[in-house]
């Protein structure tokens, strides 16, 4: 009888071990096949600050759907870095298979990324980048923010650089790679021109703050302002409202150059209220999902994947709008 009990106990231990192995990393299996493993992914989004971000979130949710073999745990941090770090720690504690992170700011990620690495949970950066050591994340999928700023700056330099022009700038979230890199690219492109930067302040990528900051610019500088560069469409659209309220004509009295190319921005460009837009493609979901699957499967991936952008003037915007996906 004692021997039978011992054998039964060993069988039970073996069954538990198999069950534990099958659930390692937070995933589950469907139908018992390895190819059917559901990949649990924690996605730490910045928030919902703009039309671009909404399109980006929708792209990610579609790509990381159950139909595509994923269990997505989504968190939007309302543009609060401390809340986003807490979300990543929560994903680690839940034992997800992978973490996708769209970092609000560049700095401050070393500790929590090391915690993920120690837990053998790969991190894939999406959209923005971090200053942490590259060995703390598996890959990055995003856009060339510096090139976006440079493209906008080159257009400004070519069209206004030989005439004394007063410029104001609506910056993105302070400390974000998008804001830092776009500013660098733009400033490099307008060096040596007759363009004078009257003022530059953050509008945190939001329409409401873009309007508020532009109202302040108009109160301070009035008709001295010839040109506005906004780090995204939403701030430009907020500024557009402020310009109209001041009795000025956007696109004519004050030229407007932005980055993103979401539908509202493209509509303003087609209507002549914006003058030039550099695209920042938000539809990154499919590429990120592809990279996650490879990383979880132990396959090698590139350290970065850059999605190509376009740029639009008024006529190009009119042609693109009917088929615009975002």
Among candidate residues 253, 247, 165, 245, the one with its CA nearest the CA of residue 212:
245
CA separation for the pair 322, 81 (Å, rounded): 37
Joined tokens for residue 217: 């610019």
Same domain, 165 and 270: yes
Same domain, 123 and 199: no
Q: How many CB atoms lie within 10 A of CB 12?
A: 10
On whether residue 29 sits in a domain, the answer given is: no
Q: Are 161 and 195 in contact (CB under 8 A)?
A: yes
Same domain, 288 and 215: no
Question: Which pLDDT value is given to residue 148?
Answer: 98
- Write phi, then psi, for 81 (nearest 5 degrees): -55, -40
Query: How many domains is the chain partitioned into structurally?
Result: 2
CA separation for the pair 183, 181 (Å, rounded): 5
On whether residue 194 sits in a domain, the answer given is: yes
Same domain, 231 and 121: no
Same domain, 93 and 190: no
CA angle at 177 for the pair 260 and 79, rounded to the nearest 5°: 80
- Write phi, then psi, for 203 (nearest 5 degrees): -120, 10
On whether residue 166 sits in a domain, the answer given is: yes
Question: Which pLDDT value is given to residue 25?
Answer: 36
Question: Which pLDDT value is given to residue 12?
Answer: 34
Side-chain half-sphere CA neighbours of 273 within 13 A: 18
CATH number at residue 273: 3.40.50.2300
Same domain, 275 and 199: yes
Q: What is the mean pLDDT of each run of 10 residues along the chain (326 residues)?
A: 35 33 33 64 95 95 98 96 98 98 98 98 97 98 98 98 98 97 98 98 98 98 97 98 98 98 97 98 97 98 95 98 90
Q: Are 45 and 91 in contact (CB under 8 A)?
A: no
Please tell me the chain's helix, strand, coil percentages from 3-state DSSP, rounded to the nearest 5. 50, 20, 30
Same domain, 180 and 134: no
Question: Which pLDDT value is given to residue 11?
Answer: 36
CA separation for the pair 104, 82 (Å, rounded): 10
Q: What letter does residue 37 receive in the DSSP assignment?
A: P
Side-chain half-sphere CA neighbours of 106 within 13 A: 14
CA angle at 273 for the pair 78 and 162, rounded to the nearest 5°: 105
Which alpha helices (H) appear in the chain, and where do they start and end?
Answer: 2-22, 51-63, 81-94, 110-118, 145-160, 177-190, 207-221, 233-245, 263-270, 285-296, 314-320
Domain that holds residue 238: 145-280
Side-chain half-sphere CA neighbours of 190 within 13 A: 26
């Amino acid at each position: 009888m004692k021997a039978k009990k011992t054998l039964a106990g060993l069988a039970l231990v073996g069954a538990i071990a198999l069950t534990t192995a099958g659930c390692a990393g937070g995933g589950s299996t469907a139908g018992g096949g390895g190819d059917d493993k559901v990949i649990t992914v924690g996605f730490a989004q910045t928030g919902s600050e703009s039309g671009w971000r909404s399109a980006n979130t929708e792209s990610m949710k579609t790509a990381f759907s159950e139909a595509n073999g994923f269990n997505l745990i989504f968190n939007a941090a309302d543009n609060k870095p401390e809340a986003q770090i807490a979300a990543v720690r929560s994903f680690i504690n839940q034992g997800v298979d992978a973490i996708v992170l769209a970092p609000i700011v560049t700095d401050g990620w070393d500790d929590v990324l090391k915690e993920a690495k120690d837990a053998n949970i790969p991190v894939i950066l999406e959209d923005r980048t971090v200053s942490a050591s590259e060995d703390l994340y598996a890959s990055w999928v995003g856009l060339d923010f510096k090139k976006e700023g440079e493209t906008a700056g080159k257009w400004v330099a070519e069209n206004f650089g030989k005439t004394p022009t007063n410029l104001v700038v609506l910056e993105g979230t302070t400390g974000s790679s998008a804001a830092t890199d776009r500013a660098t690219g733009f400033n490099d492109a307008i060096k040596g021109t007759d363009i004078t930067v009257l003022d530059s302040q953050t509008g945190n990528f939001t329409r409401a703050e873009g309007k508020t900051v532009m109202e302040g610019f108009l109160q301070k500088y009035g008709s001295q302002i010839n040109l506005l560069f906004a780090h995204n469409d939403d701030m430009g659209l907020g500024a557009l409202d402020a310009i109209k309220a001041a009795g000025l004509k956007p696109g004519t009295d004050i030229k407007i150059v932005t980055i993103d190319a979401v539908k509202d921005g493209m509509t303003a460009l087609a209507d002549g209220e914006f003058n030039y837009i550099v695209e920042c493609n938000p539809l990154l979901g499919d590429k990120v999902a592809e990279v996650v699957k490879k990383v979880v499967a132990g396959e090698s991936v590139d350290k970065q994947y850059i999605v190509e952008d376009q740029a639009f003037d008024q006529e190009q915007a009119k042609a693109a709008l009917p088929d615009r996906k975002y």
